[in-house]
Amino acid sequence: MKKFFLFLISLLICYLLFQEKINQDVNYKTLNKPTQKYSHILKVSKEEIYQGDLILINKNLKIREQGVKSDIINLFQNKIPDNMVLSDNSMSLSKDVALNLSKMIDAAELKGINHFMISSGYRNNSKQEKLYEEKGSDIALPAGYSEHNSGLSLDIGSTLTKMDYAPEGKWLKQNSWKYGFILRYPKGKEDITGIQFEPWHFRYVGLPHSAIMKENNFTLEEYLDFLKKKKSLLVNIGSKKYEIYYYPIKNKTTDIYLPEKASYELSGNNKDGVIVTITK
C-alpha cells in the first residue's frame, strides 16, 4: 500500500513538473478557415453565444441565465481544493474550475507557497444585489454584471499579507495561466476593463487562451477582439497543438466544420459569436 501511495505521489510530481515546463514554447500563427479541410458539421445555435468559459462579463455586458455554469459546487463540502483556507463554508464555484484550481495550488505548494485563501467565489443574483446595495457602485457591480455571477471567477488572497506583495500573489501572476487562469483586472488596463487593479481576482478561461493572453498581456476584452480580427489561429504550447476559430453567429443556427471525432470546446463571447478550440 505504501509503495502504491509513493507511486501516486511520483505521478503527481511528474504532472506538475510538466505543467511548469509548458511555458517554454508558446507560439501561434493565423490559419485559413477549414471549410474545405474538415467535413464534420456542427450546428451551432444563437444561444451558444451566451455560454462557455470565454464569455465576456463587465459593467456593460450582462451574463444571461445560460451563462452561469451548471456544475456549481460547495467547496467546503466537496473538499476541492483541500489545501486552501476558505473565508466561509458557503463558498461555491464551478466544479471544473475548482479542479483546475486544485491542480494550480498543488503546484504552488511544491514550490513552498502554501498560504492561499479564497475570499469570494460564485454569487447568485440575490447575493450580488445585496452586496451592491451594501457596498455601492465603487466596490460592487449590479446583479448580472459581475464575473462572480458566472462560477468562473474567484478572489484569491494570502493569509500572510496583501496579494500585491504576497508570495502567493507573485506566483499566481507568473504561473496561473498554465492552469487556465488569468488575472482579470491587471494594473494599467483600467481603461479597458473598467475595473481598478485587483491582484486577487482570477478568472478561468482555459488553455490555450490563458497562454496567448499571458504572452500578449491581453485582458479578456482585448483577447476576444484579437480573435474576432484574426478569425483563426494555430497554437503550439510545448508538445500540444490547438486550432482556434472565431465564428460570427447571425442566424438561428450556423454550420461549423470540424474534423471527424474531434476533441473540441465551444464558447460564446456573450456578444456576437462563438470560439471553437480544437485540441490536436
Cβ neighbours for 189, distance < 8 A, ≥ 6 positions apart: 219
The residue with cell 474550475 is 97
How far apart are the C-alpha atoms of 252 and 117, rounded to whole Å? 43
The answer to whether the CB of 133 falls within 8 A of the CB of 141 is: no
Q: Is 145 helix (H, G, I), strand (E, B) or coil?
A: coil
Residue 238 near residue 24 (C-beta atoms within 8 A): yes
**Three-state secondary structure along 33-50?**
CCCCCCCEEEEEEHHHHH
Which ranges of 111-237 does DSSP label H, i.e. alpha helix? 125-135, 167-175, 190-193, 209-216, 220-230
- For residues 113 and 168, the answer to whether their CB atoms sit within 8 Å is yes
Residues in the chain, overall count: 280
Helix (H, G, I), strand (E, B) or coil at 20: helix
Catalytic residues: 198
Task: Please give the full DSSP string across 1-13, using - where no structure is assigned.
Answer: -HHHHHHHHHHHH
Q: Which three cell numbers stand for residue 152?
A: 468562473
